[in-house]
Structure 1
Amino acid sequence: MTETNKKSCIAGPRAQDSHLRAGALLQYHNTDTTPHSEAEDERKVSPSSGSTGQENRSLDFTQRIEKKLAEYNASNSVFKRWLFEMLSWLISAFCMIAIVFIYVHVKDRPISESASLLIWTNVLGKVASAALIVPTSEALGQLKWNWFHNSNAMWDFEIFDKASRGPWGALMLLFRTKGRSLAALGALLVVLLLAIDTFFQQVVEMPDRWTLQTTAAVAPMAYVYDPGSPMQYRDGFEMAQKERDTFLVIEKFSYGNGTQPVLFGNGTRPDIPVSCPTSNCTWPLFETLSICSQCADISSQLSFACVNHTVDWKAGSEGMFDLQQPYPNATGCGYFLNATSENPTLMSGYLLDPVDSSVGEALIMRTLPLTTLTGKEPLYGNGSILFKHVRHSIADLLIVSASNGSADAVYRNTTPVAQECIISWCIKTMKSSYSLGEYSETVVATFLNTTSGPFPWESFPYETELENGTDIFYMENITFRANALSSPSEYATKEYGTSNTTASSIITGFNDIFPAFTTMMNESATPVFRYKTWKPGPSWTQFLSFNPWLAPNNVTRHMERLAMSMTNVIRSAPSRNDVIGHAYGNETYISVRWEWLIFPLLLLLLSLAFLVSTMIKTSKDGATGIWKTSAMPALIYSLPKETQGQFTKSSTWSSAKDTKKLRIRLLPDMGWRVSGHSQLSMSPQLPRPAVRAPRGWI
């Protein structure tokens, strides 16, 4: 082989540098062991017209890409040198912008409509973070050669190399440069890029929201009350009877604590037919025919006295219809109603023996209706003391009890608790809702009929051959409007009420309990509750485990609960109407927290600043060359052999040796310059192998 051919195969340092920067590739493969003659080797190495095409065809796809990138890196145009890195940054920027647009589109929308778009945000986030690593690591790799061109410590080569490949090396580089170098920004970006996926994941939150469903919720209300019970007749005449449904409620509240709520779900079961197809329903304000109650103090109407009076309150007294044994008179002390009149009524007191002044049976509780029991004649003018303005009353009565519900308070002449309570027809404006298994209602407004009118009861005595008595008639239909309320217009013209027959049946249900008495024979005796005083013959009594009319029980609250339970009966009757409400279903929505995008966008801008700064800093650095993260210079410009030997012995790496201060410098035209060595490492001379490489190999 001639000297000329040798030079064409293995060039000097300057020629080789030019060759590599033009895009030549080093290939390392297993050497063919078949012997060749020197002439054959020369023919294989000697250039020919088809050698370039054959070499290109022999390169695979990835090698051709690397060759093209090497050509771009060797270009005199700064734009071409950093084209791939700029494209990578643009891809990352495009992905982040696309993510922002997707988030704008899916914000406040249900997850069922946008699940596929959220998948794309995850994909774009991964692509954005991966694409952002490329310009950062490549720029950091290029700063490595720039750093070594300025003669720095040998160890920096390893630190820079690791920094361009992972966070551990980046942290070491941050410590090495103390943050005072452009390379420190690149190392910081490598570390921060580890968290970019976490911030992308935190942008989207998926709270549950209630959305309106197509199915409707239903709650009951009533314009009129018609229980649908058949009428009873005697000898062709309609007979008064207790209204069955309301009487069951009245009976529970007369002798006990009334109806009790039934636990259901997270709350209690509603006492009215409610339909909520979901776990969250609301209804607009609506009005319904209802029962209302009020109580007020009437202590001023009572006065203490010891007078002779009709003893109609004793537990063993016979019924008022037993004419052979009328109620006796006796002296009693206590608080009387109309104490100075001819017929004073003892409301709370005790019997007094006028001979020895010994005390006897005590009256500790009394309910007194303000209409007579047999003829329904009104007392105090129109059957009321404090509620004369209320029309359509069902019951108006006085409830008086010993202050602590004991005979001891009566014997000590303690002032009793005295109230007047009224139960009447009314219209209530309701606000209803159903949430998570619990139904709740709130009374927003109440309308009472306060217009004047005649007393509704009329009575006519009758006498036949077999019996005599009094016919009682409730003459008034319950009819009134709610237009006095500031209510929705759809209810303003509606008429509410019930028939006089139904009203009379409900009033009859209170005859058993109003009037009633509770007495005690002495301080230690068991209280006896006497009721059904309208029945002739022996008295009806009970020993109540809970007496709702006896202090210190809250009578006002008890009456309110009674009125509400009666209202529920009215709203549950066949005559009820439906109020249509809104049903809401629980659906997952997309909420975007934009503040979590600040970090990825900030990294995007810092990466651009780092890339542009590196391009500017290395644009005129022709001596170093654009190698980036390539390992080619380390392969081409190897250290002198005597220097390599120092690194093969572990002892030379001891911190006590001077080699720790070893300085190297890369001169592309001359190779590595090592401090303390005068010899330069020239371009590597490939040893002549026993078997030459095939054509196209260097």
Structure 2
Amino acid sequence: MDRQPRQEQPLLTETRESALWGYEEIFDAFPLQPQPQQTEAWNDTDGAVFGSHITNYDASPPAPAVSESKRGSVPALLWDVLKWWQIEIFACLASVAAIVAQAVVMLRFNGRPQESWPSTTLTLNGLIAILATLCRGSLMVPVASVLAQSKWTRFDSRSRRAHKLAEWELLDEASRGSLGSLQVLWKFKGVLHVSCIGAVITIASLALSTFSQQVVSLQSILVPATDGDTLNKTASVPWTDSPNVRVWSAGEFGSMSTVVKLAIIEGIMAPDVASLPLSCPTGNCTWPDFTTVGACGRCVNITEDVRFTQSTLSETYTLPNGLWVGRNPVATTAANETLGFSANITQTTRLFDPVRSPNPKYERALALAEFAMLGFENLRWQGGPPVAFECGIWLCLQARRVSVTAGQQTDKVIESWTKVDVRIGTPFIDMPSPPFVGHEDMYFWATREPSVSLESFIQPMLNGNITLSGTPPSPVFSSDYIQALSANLGDPSQWIGRLAESTTNGLRQMGPYKNTTLAYDGEAHVVQVIVVARWHWLAYPAVLVLLTVIYLVFEITRTTTSNTRPWKADPLVPLYAYLDLDRNVLSAARDGLNKPSGLSAELGDLAVRLDVGYDHGVRFSGRIAVDGEVAQGRS
């Protein structure tokens, strides 16, 4: 069958005096609803008056379709809304789904180890970033459409107000990005305008990805090791329930263990005492508070009890217990000064006096050493009066707290106890629990025999003196232990603390008397990185999404009740007014104004060109496409 030759159909009106819309021919072909004549002036927002508008017809898009939709049922109205706004509604739902997905992912992995994340390609942060990007991309679809639609509803003829065309351009630019949104906020500053909501959302959405990234946080915590019971049991700490037979060497009764001896000597001589090494294979271990027998010590300043006497041949400072320090003031060749350290103290001294002393009380059966010291700081007589202290060290029950964190060991006494029953072998009694803990068959003792042995070893080391003689005077120490004491004469509290701690270390290394377990078992821990959800950072994108939903619903409602359609950013709608076309084509195009993308369907195949002339200004003209081929435009 032969095809008919293609007929070119003219699109341009041959005789048209109008340089713009050519309403006269259009109105002849498409009669509109008659409108009453209006003679009143229209005012814009700034108060400028436009010329009187006098016409018998309204050149706005055809109103019958609006009236039909309004007269229809609610389902029909909803269907009409869905047809126009389906992309925006689906995009809004996608942004909500992205926020919900972020919350579900964080809820699923919150508090779980980082290794529980199943993917080795995509990280948790990567997934959150993808969801945040999807959220923002979906969010901007309805916001941009609503901003674009704002220019139509603002210039709606039903408002009976005119606005400057600059506002049309401003709202159109706002739908394209943040710069236009900033211009809208500046234009409507101080004015409550609905377009400002869209502008705020557009600008605020720039920070949405940043806030979403802050939702995920990683935190290092310690968790029990899971490599088996053997590993956990190796986390142990030494303790003892009694300084009893274990204090003695296996070879000979009455001979103290060298472990305890070395511990006491270290406490007297060393400038620092290290904590007892703990077994912790992972470098992070914890133990419950445990109880052990140890040593406690304290020094009390008794300088106020020093008495000074002077004669022709001597100057002497004396304590009530008889300890003294003095010199010969008339010596011409050498000074002769003596500083005393003595254990020969009486039962009425300040440290152990149950009436005068504020210190913890204990039975004298627990004492390992009680002594006084009297002398001058820096071993200089001319430095002022001497200082005097009473010190003691005794057996006590200790509640201790130990831990190892990142290889750093902590071992401290949280409370000590000295109450014993001397009638049945000095067991510790009436300990509060907590912090003192133990098993039902566990007893803590401080028997007299090891106490006497410890006292006989410590006491002689703390008895002696220092003599200053010669010119210039130089000190002569009666023993190395006295030399160590003299270095701490100014404040012996730290020194007595080191001696007590070191003695405790020696006793703990001997192990328990009745139990075979030489160490108090603890629990080894390993460092584990877990996922922590910081929910407050998710509030920002959630608020933006909620605000967008409200903004979209508001604009849908406003457009439905206006005399416009949801043309949004359709570029063919404003071009429609400038198309110099045949009236039949305009008839079909006019019907397309009432359908989503209707103008694109009716005019999309037109080939047009932009004509610029002094007689008709700027306009598009062209010819219809026939059989898929575009006819030549008119020159």
TM-score (norm 2): 0.65
Which residue does the alignment assign to 2:42?
none
Measured against aligned partners, the alpha-carbon deviations of 1:44-70 in whole angstroms (never above 9, x if no partner) come to xxxxxxxxxxxxxxxxxxxxxxxxxxx
User: What residue identity is the alignment partner of 1:282?
Assistant: T
User: What residue identity is the alignment partner of 1:197?
Assistant: S
Which residue does the alignment assign to 1:369?
343
Which residue does the alignment assign to 1:165?
176
Cα distance between partner residues in 2 of 1:634 and 1:504: 110
Cα distance between partner residues in 2 of 1:245 and 1:680: 111
Match of 1:231 among 229, 232, 251: 251
Which residue does the alignment assign to 1:521?
469
Match of 1:219 among 233, 237, 254: 237
Q: Structure 1 stretch 492-501 or stretch 75-84: which is displaced more? A: 492-501
Contact 2:276/2:505 (8 A) holds in 1 = yes
Return 5+ residue gaps in structure 2 as ranges: 14-24, 32-76, 355-361, 582-601, 604-613
- Aligned to 1:527, the other structure's residue is in SS state strand
Q: CA deviation at 1:633?
A: 3.3
User: What residue identity is the alignment partner of 2:505?
Assistant: N
Q: Aligned-residue CA RMSD in angstroms?
A: 5.1
Which residue does the alignment assign to 1:495?
443
Which residue does the alignment assign to 2:578?
638
Contact 2:338/2:468 (8 A) holds in 1 = yes
Change (3 A) 1:195 1:364: same
Change (3 A) 1:416 1:96: closer
User: What residue identity is the alignment partner of 2:206?
Assistant: L
Contact 1:361/1:519 (8 A) holds in 2 = no
Q: CA deviation at 1:181?
A: 4.7
Which residue does the alignment assign to 2:49?
none
Q: CA deviation at 1:526?
A: 0.5
Match of 1:83 among 58, 70, 86: 86
Cα distance between partner residues in 2 of 1:195 and 1:346: 79
Measured against aligned partners, the alpha-carbon deviations of 1:533-566 in whole angstroms (never above 9, x if no partner) come to xxxxxxxxx798x542467432343222112111
Match of 2:369 among 361, 375, 395: 395
Which residue does the alignment assign to 1:133?
140
Q: Equivalent residues in 2 for 1:686-697 (5 A)?
A: 686=623, 694=628
Q: Equivalent residues in 2 for 1:324-473 (5 A)?
A: 334-335=316-317, 347-350=324-327, 362-370=336-344, 386=353, 389-402=363-376, 405-408=379-382, 416-448=386-418, 451-452=421-422
Which residue does the alignment assign to 2:537?
596
Match of 1:204 among 211, 216, 223: 216
Change (3 A) 1:80 1:367: same
Which residue does the alignment assign to 2:131?
124
User: What residue identity is the alignment partner of 1:138?
Assistant: S
Does 2:458 align with 1:510? yes
Change (3 A) 1:78 1:399: closer
Q: Equivalent residues in 2 for 1:238-277 (5 A)?
A: 241=255, 243-252=257-266, 254=268, 256=269, 258-261=270-273, 270-277=274-281
TM-score (norm 1): 0.60
Measured against aligned partners, the alpha-carbon deviations of 1:246-303 in whole angstroms (never above 9, x if no partner) come to 333444555x4x2525xxxxxxxx4312133445443322111112223445678876
User: What residue identity is the alignment partner of 2:465?
Assistant: F
Cα distance between partner residues in 1 of 2:195 and 2:163: 14
- Aligned to 1:274, the other structure's residue is in SS state coil
- Aligned to 2:458, the other structure's residue is in SS state coil
Q: Structure 1 stretch 501-510 or stretch 219-228: which is displaced more? A: 501-510
Which residue does the alignment assign to 1:48?
none
Cα distance between partner residues in 2 of 1:174 and 1:570: 79
Does 2:495 align with 1:558? yes
Contact 2:369/2:459 (8 A) holds in 1 = no
User: What residue identity is the alignment partner of 1:289?
Assistant: V
Contact 1:368/1:399 (8 A) holds in 2 = yes
Cα distance between partner residues in 2 of 1:520 and 1:75: 109
Which residue does the alignment assign to 1:629?
569
Which residue does the alignment assign to 1:539?
none
Cα distance between partner residues in 1 of 2:570 and 2:29: 16
Measured against aligned partners, the alpha-carbon deviations of 1:212-250 in whole angstroms (never above 9, x if no partner) come to 444544222112342573435xxxxx6x65642333344
Change (3 A) 1:351 1:695: closer
User: What residue identity is the alignment partner of 1:596?
Assistant: W
What number of residue pairs does the alignment pair up? 516
Cα distance between partner residues in 2 of 1:304 and 1:186: 92
Contact 2:296/2:395 (8 A) holds in 1 = yes
Cα distance between partner residues in 2 of 1:359 and 1:276: 62
Change (3 A) 1:449 1:405: farther
Cα distance between partner residues in 1 of 2:422 and 2:462: 25
Contact 2:149/2:569 (8 A) holds in 1 = yes
Does 2:199 align with 1:187? yes
- Aligned to 1:348, the other structure's residue is in SS state strand
Change (3 A) 1:515 1:687: closer
- Aligned to 1:82, the other structure's residue is in SS state helix
Cα distance between partner residues in 1 of 2:26 and 2:283: 82
Which residue does the alignment assign to 1:294?
298
Which residue does the alignment assign to 1:23?
none
Contact 2:171/2:180 (8 A) holds in 1 = yes
Cα distance between partner residues in 1 of 2:477 and 2:145: 99
Q: CA deviation at 1:6?
A: 6.6
Change (3 A) 1:406 1:637: same
Which residue does the alignment assign to 1:65?
none
Q: Equivalent residues in 2 for 1:135-150 (5 A)?
A: 135-146=142-153
Contact 2:238/2:511 (8 A) holds in 1 = no
User: What residue identity is the alignment partner of 2:409?
Assistant: Y
- Aligned to 2:176, the other structure's residue is in SS state coil
- Aligned to 1:224, the other structure's residue is in SS state coil
Cα distance between partner residues in 2 of 1:517 and 1:571: 32
Change (3 A) 1:253 1:600: closer
Contact 2:140/2:202 (8 A) holds in 1 = yes
Q: Structure 1 stretch 90-99 or stretch 359-368: which is displaced more? A: 359-368
Measured against aligned partners, the alpha-carbon deviations of 1:72-115 in whole angstroms (never above 9, x if no partner) come to xx999233222222222222223323433444444444444457
Measured against aligned partners, the alpha-carbon deviations of 1:494-523 in whole angstroms (never above 9, x if no partner) come to 334578775565445336524312112368
Q: CA deviation at 1:528?
A: 0.7
Measured against aligned partners, the alpha-carbon deviations of 1:609-631 in whole angstroms (never above 9, x if no partner) come to 33233323333666x55433223
Change (3 A) 1:601 1:370: same
User: What residue identity is the alignment partner of 1:276?
Assistant: C
Q: How many percent identity over aligned positions? A: 21
- The answer to which structure has the higher strand fraction is 1
Q: Equivalent residues in 2 for 1:11-22 (5 A)?
A: none
Cα distance between partner residues in 2 of 1:357 and 1:168: 98
Contact 2:11/2:580 (8 A) holds in 1 = no
Q: CA deviation at 1:131?
A: 1.6
Q: CA deviation at 1:4?
A: 13
Change (3 A) 1:523 1:420: farther
Cα distance between partner residues in 2 of 1:429 and 1:75: 76
- Aligned to 2:379, the other structure's residue is in SS state coil
